[in-house]
Structures are given as structure tokens and as C-alpha cells.
Structure 1
Amino acid sequence: MAATNSSDWTTPRDVVARLRKRWERGDYLAELANGTDWEPFSIPLRGPKAGDITQHYEAALAWARSWAPEVHKHVRIEHRRLGGRLAGVNDVPARVWIERREDLWRLLGVTSTVHRYELLLACAREALPRLATWMADHPMRVVRWEADWPRLQATIRWINGYRGPAVYLRQLDVPGVDTKFIEHHRAILTTLLEHCLPSDRIDTEAARTDFAARFRFLRKPAYLRFRLLGDESLAGFSELTVRADEFTSPPSGITTVYVVENETTYLAFPNQPRSIVILGGGYAVTQLSALSWLHHRSLIYWGDLDTHGFAILDRLRRAFPHTQSILMTRNVLLEHRNQWVKEDAPTHGHLATLSPEEADLHESLMEGEFGHNVRLEQERVRYHLLEGALNDLHQESRNPTAGTADAEQGEEVCRIVTVQSD
């Protein structure tokens, strides 16, 4: 006797699985939300052939009974005539019909989910029609966030209706919504706000991940911490922290500025006359671009001898093309061979602003000329080399042929050394 192909016969579980795939795509809810009239549809069933009735009668009978109408109250079973001379004519299940939406909901066990979705959609249509349009087009995303949707909608409504001056996210006044909620739901809120807000309420230049900037909320300002060197003080203070956007000019009488990223280096930086040292933060050197007065000063950078150090130098030069570097040479690297460590995640790519010597060393680091991911951290460079570099800068400033153009314009010389963080 030939083996039965009953494993290919369509089971009730197969039909439910097929319907659930359509449900999970959102097809059924989208049709409901958009007011599409319901039309009954059917799913064909694969079942026994005429020969199976004689050769595999018990299996065929069990399959037919699995589709008994009394077992499947939410569908209509359509039968077809099957049989022949040996087995006689039999009515076997051929199609499953879904006659009403309510039957489909019950079959999938989603009746309560559908009712909640309809309530959320109705509420949005009354309060935020543009949001309701999005909900109709993306019903399963609403279902996914169903528990949080009232707070999401209330947040959208508050932001959409607010017309006052710019505020911090902390000032958003919605019951049950705080900055933690916004951060956790940032992605879905961003999508909804982009759909609901007018274009002038969205800063498309800001990254989608920067929620505050994109929707024109106030952001935490950048701060610069600096100390005055050479026994100088400002209003009795030797060290201050100020907002970067308010640091529009150097303190009075200051002619030299150093920017360091490592706090120990910042605290131990050698005393220099008429100078300040600023504590920065690696790639945060981009904050210095707001200090427009640096365009009229000499700018000198010192960073780690690794690919990131040169990338930061390149970034600083893009803001201030006249930036020089110190202690970022092949000789300094080789002199500290015993101090090398591994760079965790080297950068790659062309850095257009590097000098020929800098570019050559950067390429050697990328290609592993000295070993795999070699890195010399700035704080490992011997201290006397920093003192020597600073002395060289002073000698250059005393050179009567240097800075003539600035002197003729009555501008002060300001040198900035940037030291990259760990």
C-alpha cells in the first residue's frame, strides 16, 4: 500500500496561520480603518484525492472530521463531491469561507484588540486627524504600542498645540509623560511628529536621533571649563565654567589660549603668562567653532598619536584652517615606543587638511607600519617635551619676522593647543 500524503492536506491550523500572516501585515485592520466594505473570501483546502479514500480511508475520514461544521462555528465549509466506482461518492471539505469581519476576529482571537484599536482611532480622528490618517495606514504599529498609545497621542497633541517660546523637554506638561518616557519612545514619537507637525516646526537639518533639536526644543548648552595661568584671575576666580555660546571673546588681557581634553593635563599644564587653558572633550572640539574670535588667532593642536587624534585635528582644521599641530610627529611616536597601547577602534579614510608630514604618519598608523593599532596617548608623552614645545612657541612669537600682519592690524596673538582625551 502506498504511503499517504496526508501531511500535505490543509489543516485548520494551516488556515489560521495563513490568515494570521495577513493580520500581522495589517491588511485587515487597514481595510477596517479606511472604511473598505467587507467582502466574504475563501481559502482553498488541499485534501485527499479519490484514491486516498480507498487506500487511506481512516486518514481521509479523520481529516474530513477535523473540518466538521460544528467544530468551526466561525467559518463556512464548502464541500465538493469526491469518489468513484470503488469507494462511492463522498462530500469532502474543499474551501473555508470567512463570511463576516466579526468571524475573522473571533477565529484569530483578536476581537478585543480590534475594539481597542477602533477606540484609539476614533479618539485620534476627533483630536488629531493627521495622526488618525497615519494610524489607519500603520495599524499594526498602533497595536504594538497599544498600552502606551494614549500617552503618545497626548504628547503629540501637546507639542502640536504649543505656541509659546522654546522650552526644554522637561517642561512638556502631559500627565504620565516625563523625559524618560520620551527617550524610551523617541523613535515612534519622531515618526508621528514628522507626520503631524507642519514643516516649519521641524528642523530637518538636525539628526532624527536628536529629538530635542529636530522638534525645536531647547537643548542642554555646551559648557567650557577654563583656568587662568600665570597667577591671573577673573573677578577673583582662577577657574570658571561658562556656556560655550556665551564665550564670545577671550578674557581681557589674554593673548594665549590652550585647549586640553585630559583633566590631569589640564590641571598640570605649565604656567604661561597672559594665558588660559580650556578643558575640552575629544571630538567635542567642534564646540570651539562657536568661538569666532579664534579665526583671528594662532591655533595649535596637540592630540593623541593615533588615527582619532589626526581625525580630531582634521575636524578642528575644517573649522579653523590655520590650525597648527605640535608633538604629533614620527619622532615623538618612536621615542615613546615603550609607552604604546592599542587603539580600540581605529578610523580610516582620507583627512584632507593634514600636512604632508601629518598625512604620512597617519597613513603609517592606518596601514600598521609600527604594529597593529598602535597608539601613543598624549598623557604618556614625556612632560619635558611639552615644556620644550611651549618654549619653541615663545621663541617663534618673539621672532620679529613672525606675525607682522597681525601686529600691523593691532590684533593679539592667541595660540591654542588641543590635547585629546583618553
Structure 2
Amino acid sequence: MLSPQEIRLKAEKWWNDGSFLAFWLKNEPFFPKEVPQIGLVKPSETLSNFEKIYSEQEELKRYSKVEKGFGYELTWQKIKSHKIGESEFITKISFETEDDYLKFIQKSEDFEIFQSNSRLIINFFPQLMQWVVQNPIKVIENAEKWEDLLKVGTYFLENPKPNLYIRQLPIKNIHTKFIEENRPIITSLLNFLLPKEAVNDETQDFEKRFGLLESIPLIRLRILDKNLFINGLSDVSLPISQLESLFIQYQIKQVFIAENQMCILTFPEIPKSIIIFGSGKAVSNLSKISWLKSKIIYYWGDLDVEGFQILSELRYFKSDAISLMMNFDCFEKFSVEGLSKGKNSVKSIPPNLSEKEVVLFKYLKNLPIDRCRLEQEKIPQWYVEKCLTELAKI
């Protein structure tokens, strides 16, 4: 037989999956609602398990509406037995009213907020009625944002494909970062709200999908060969499109990628080589530069699970990319310098890693979160130069 805690879990499921909220929105009756799979007592069990059954039923009764004043109700049936006499056994557990249910799962206040926001959305945009029915949990998750979200929806309806940068959009009293921070919910709303001709269905990119200007990502690089300097410049940041057509591409033999700015600035000079600042989304953007695929690429990341995740992503477009100073030898030598806190956010072993890299990944994954990361800057310059000298001999 179910316990009161198990009844709560089943009742909360009706809230968490949105089924109760959807019935309310459609003005359809949800109650009375029976709790399924309660584990009814069989007549054959009444004698052998009488004390256990009696105890379980008493616990259910203590937390029922008859005792608490709200919550689930119990339906009883009298059973006669020549061995135990006449006794009552629970045959059904149910919630008879909305109020009983909401008080039991402690969602009365949340439901009032949901009702208020649902009415606000539907009164503002009646065409969003079906969206609300399909997404009641999103209404709850964004409870404090609906006035601003509706302003954004209004702007895009009145100005389809605005051809502006996100932070240029003239939406009154909307913080410049609001749209950037709430892209998932805004995307869901606009997909439903806007006419087909105002949405580019060929892409999931927010800017391209809704007719906004895209910020041009810059790639920062340092040229490690004086003979390849660009008008005397060695440290430059360029849009991807310019890097794609850069004249020095044909003279480059090796490309190094690192995550730490100081490591890039102190990286030794190497003939026919450049080093790219690979922080943020830079590594994924590099896949757009076709000539990189014909170069020797080395990736030097922090020794942590995220460093190996980035290495794995790099190998999706450059399968023979080589990891640099990302091995046990390096870790054992310099972990004494101090390990720092990592995010440890990578849940499974990334693909595209070698056997040795997988072993080190697992080792790092099992370290305490507050000391699971060896940062690049902890590796001394003499060791970097030593590794690069050995590399040049290969």
C-alpha cells in the first residue's frame, strides 16, 4: 500500500507534467482524481499481514483530509472474516477538490500566480491560448518576467525582421540584456506568435531566425614568425571572414590553440606558426576557417574535464588535432603548484579522445571539485619551451 510520501510524489507529478494546469486552462474537470496503484489489500492478506496493513492504514488516515482538514480522502470497505471479525480496509485514495489537492502539494500560492500570469498572457495575446495550454510549466518558470516578455512579443509582431542588433531594439523599459538572457522562452513564444514569413525556419540561430543583425565574432591570434607579421603587427583580432582569406594562410605550417591569454603572450617564437586565443566559442568558430584543416593543429588547454571536452569538439572538424601538455607527466609535475576549483560539468566521457586521454579524463573527473583543475599558467615557461623544442625534433 502506498505511503503518504508516495501519494505526494504521485500528486506532484500531475503538477510537474502540466496535466492539472492544462485541464484548468481548458476549463475541463480534473477532480475528483483517484491516486493510481495504491496496492489494495487482498482478502487473503488480511490475516497473515493484519498488523502491517493496520499500521499502514493508520498512517494514511493521519495524513488524510479527515485528520488534516485537506488533502486526499480515503474510501473504506468493511470485510468480514471468521478469524479476525469485521474490519475496514482502504479501497480507494482520491482528491475530491482542487483546493484539497493544492494545499496537499503546497502549491496554492503558485497556482494563484499561474492563474494571474495565464490570464495576463491570454488577454494580451488571445492567439497564445494554445501555447499556454501546451507550455504551462514555462508560464510558471518565467513567472516574474511576463510583462517584459509580452513587450518583446509585441515589438516583434509590429516590427518583423527588424534588422537591428539585439541591444539596439527600442523596446521601452526592457534591459539591454533581457532578450539575450531569455532566448529560449522568447524563441518559443515568437515561433508560435509570428507569421510564417517573419521566421526563418531554416535555422535555429536566434538572430538569423528572427531577422536580427549578428555580432561578428572576432578571432584573436598571435603570429609567432616575424616574417609573417602583418604590417609589423604580431597580435591581431580579426573577423572570421577576414581570417579565412588572410594572405599568410598559405605560409602557415602549424597552428597552436590555447585558452589562457598570458600563455599566448609568452608563447615562444616558432617558424611558420601562429597561436590562436581559443576561449569561449572560439574553438567552435574555427571550424568555419577551411584552410585550418590542412595545417598541423595543437591544442593546449587547462588540465580538467572541460579542457578535454574542448579538445573533443576541436576534433570534430580536425580529427588529427594534437593535444599539447595535456598528459599525466605534466599533471604530476605541476599539480604540486596548486590545483584550483573546476566546474566538473562534463557528465560523460567525450568522444574523439585517445586511450591515454580518456584515462586522464577519468582521473580528473574523480578529483574533489575544489581541486580538479591544473590551469595552464601553473605550467612554467621552461617546461613549455622544453616541450616545444622536443616537438620541433619530430
Give the TM bin, normalised by the shorter chain: 0.5 to 0.7
Q: Distance in 1 between matches of 2:186 and 2:213?
A: 17
For structure 2, the 5+ residue unaligned runs are 1-19, 29-111
TM-score by length of 1: 0.54
Could you tell me which residue of structure 2 aligns to residue 320 of structure 1?
A: 318
Q: Which residue of 2 aligns with 1:194?
A: 191
TM-aligned CA deviation for residue 180 of structure 1: 4.3
Instruction: Supply the AA of the counterpart residue of 1:356.
Output: E
Aligned partner of residue 247 in structure 1, secondary structure: helix
Shift in Å, 1:364? 2.9
User: Residue 354 of structure 1: CA displacement?
Assistant: 1.4
SS of residue matched to 2:255 = strand
1:285-364 mapped onto 2 (5 Å cutoff): 285-346=283-344, 347-364=346-363
1:360 maps to amino acid = V
Report the 3-state secondary structure (helix = DSSP H, G, I; strand = E; otherwise coil) of the residue aligned with 2:153.
helix
Name which of 224, 230, 233 aligns with 1:237: 233
Write out aligned runs for 1:383-394 (5 A).
383-394=381-392
Structure 1 pair 153–240 and aligned structure 2 pair: CA distance change class (3 A): same
Partner of residue 420, structure 1: none
Equivalent position amino acid for 1:312 in 2: I
Structure 1 pair 333–371 and aligned structure 2 pair: CA distance change class (3 A): farther
Q: Is the 8 A contact 2:342 2:369 kept in 1?
A: no
Provide the aligned length of Structure 1 versus Structure 2: 282
Aligned partner of 2:167 in structure 1 is 170
Once the two structures are TM-superposed, the CA of residue 154 in structure 1 deviates from its matched residue by 5.4
Partner of 1:401: none
Q: SS at the partner of 2:392?
A: helix
How far off its partner does 1:316 sit?
1.1
Alignment of structure 1 residues 103-142 onto 2, 5 Å: 121=123, 124=125, 130-131=127-128
Deviation at 1:350, TM superposition (A): 2.1
Closer, same or farther in 2 for the Cα pair 1:372/1:186, shift >3 Å?
closer
Distance (whole Å) between structure 2 residues aligned to residue 381 and residue 264 of structure 1: 12
- SS at structure 2 position matched to 1:384: helix
Measure, in 2, the Cα distance between the counterparts of 1:311 and 1:119: 41
Distance 1:194 1:394 in 2: 54
Q: In structure 2, how many angstroms separate the alpha carbons of the residues matched to 1:187 and 1:318?
A: 26
Partner of 1:259: 257
Decide whether aligned partners of structure 1 residues 264 and 203 sit closer, same or farther in structure 2, where only a CA change above 3 A counts. farther
C-alpha distance in structure 1 between counterparts of 2:133 and 2:372, whole Å: 55
Greater RCO, CA 8 A, separation 6+ = 1
Task: Flag the 1:389–1:131 CA change in 2: closer, same or farther, 3 A.
Answer: same
Q: Are positions 1:160 and 2:157 aligned together?
A: yes
- Deviation of residue 161 (structure 1)? 4.7
Moved more, 230-239 or 260-269: 230-239
3-state SS of paired residue (2:276): strand
Query: SS of 2:307's equivalent?
Result: helix
Question: Whole-Å Cα distance in 1 between the matches of residues 356 and 182 of structure 2?
Answer: 48
- Tell me which amino acid in the other structure corresponds to 1:231: K
SS in structure 1 of the partner of residue 296 of structure 2: coil
2:252–2:295 CA contact under 8 A, matched in 1: no
Task: Find the residue that maps to 2:226 and give its secondary structure.
Answer: coil
Deviation string 1:33-52 (CA, Å, 9 cap, x unpaired) is: xxx9xxxxxxxxxxxxxxxx
Match of 2:49 in 1: none
Whole-Å separation in 2 of the counterparts to 1:192 and 1:267: 45
Is the 8 Å Cα contact of residues 340 and 374 (structure 1) preserved in structure 2? no
SS of 1:221's partner is coil
Q: In 2 relative to 1, CA 339–197 (structure 1 residues): closer, same or farther, beyond 3 Å?
A: same
CA distance in 2 between counterparts of 1:215 and 1:131 reads 18
1:246 and 1:313 mapped to 2: Cα distance? Answer: 25
TM-superposed CA distance for 1:377, in Å, is 1.9
| Whole-angstrom distance in 1 between the partners of 2:217 and 2:354 | 30
Alpha carbons of 1:338 and 1:172: their partners in 2 closer, same or farther (altered >3 Å)? Answer: closer
Change (3 A) 1:175 1:338: closer
- Measured after TM superposition, the shift of residue 335 of structure 1 is 2.1
Q: CA deviation at 1:157?
A: 4.0
Q: Residue 216 of structure 2 aligns to a residue in which SS?
A: coil
Change (3 A) 1:269 1:203: farther
Q: RMSD across aligned C-alpha pairs, in angstroms?
A: 4.2
Among the aligned pairs, what percent are the same residue? 29
Report what 1:365 is aligned to.
364
The residue that corresponds to 2:218 in the other structure is: 223
**8 Å contact from structure 1 (residues 224, 278) kept in 2:** yes
In structure 2, relative to structure 1, the CA distance for the partners of 1:374 and 1:137 (3 Å cut) is: closer
Distance in 2 between residues matched to 1:349 and 1:267, nearest whole Å: 33
CA contact (8 A) 2:160 2:211 kept: no
**Cα displacement (A) at 1:381:** 1.7
User: 3-state DSSP class of the match of 1:335?
Assistant: helix
Q: Deviations over 1:129-187 (max 9, x none)?
A: x3476579999969x989975x7555434423545574322343445556345457656
C-alpha distance after superposition, 1:183-235 (max 9, x if no partner): 576565434312112456155863xxx75455342332221112222334213
Matched residue, 1:19: none
What per-residue deviation string (whole Å, max 9, x for no partner) do you get for residues 240-276 of structure 1?
2111243214542333332222111111111122332
Gap change, CA 1:283 and 1:392, over 3 Å in 2: farther
SS in structure 2 of the partner of residue 375 of structure 1:
coil
Contact 1:305 1:378 in 2 (8 A): yes
